[in-house]
Amino acid sequence: MKKNKIFVACDSKNIQKVKEIIQKTQNSKLKIGYKFGLEFLNSKNGRKFISKLKNKITFGDYKLADIPNTCVSTIKAVRDLKFNYLTIHISSGLNALKAAKKVSGKTKLIGVTILTSLDNKSLKEIGFNKDLNNIVLEQAKLANKAKLDAIVCSPKEVNIVKKVFKKEIITPGIRFNSNAGDQKRTLTPKQAYKNGSDWLVIGRPITEGNIKNNLRNLINHLK
Ligand code: C5P
60-72 pLDDT, tens digit each: 999 999 999 999 9
pLDDT at 2 over 90: no
Q: Which fold has domain 4-221?
A: TIM Barrel (3.20.20)
| Residue in 17, 31, 63, 167 annotated catalytic | 63
> pTM of the predicted model, to two decimals?
0.97
Residue 178: its pLDDT value, please? 78
Residue nearest to atom 21 of ligand 1 (CA): 115
Residue nearest to atom 13 of ligand 1 (CA): 172
Mean pLDDT computed over every residue of the chain: 97
Residue 142: its pLDDT value, please? 98
Residue nearest to atom 18 of ligand 1 (CA): 115
pLDDT at 156 over 80: yes
Residue 95: its pLDDT value, please? 98
Interacting residues of 124 by C-beta distance below 8 A, sequence separation 6+: none
Average confidence (pLDDT) over 71-94 = 98
Instruction: Give whole-number Cα distances, 47 to 53, 85, 92, in Å.
Output: 10, 15, 24
From the CA of 204, give the closest atom in ligand 1.
Answer: 1
> Could you give the CA distance from residue 24 to residue 15 in angstroms, rounded to a whole number?
14
Instruction: Give whole-number Cα distances, 180 to 61, 89, 175, 184, 204, in Å.
Output: 21, 23, 6, 7, 10
Ordered by start, the domain boundaries in the chain are 4-221
Ligand 1 neighbours, Cβ below 6 Å, are 9, 11, 37, 112, 115-116, 152, 172-174, 183, 201-205
From the CA of 153, give the closest atom in ligand 1.
Answer: 21
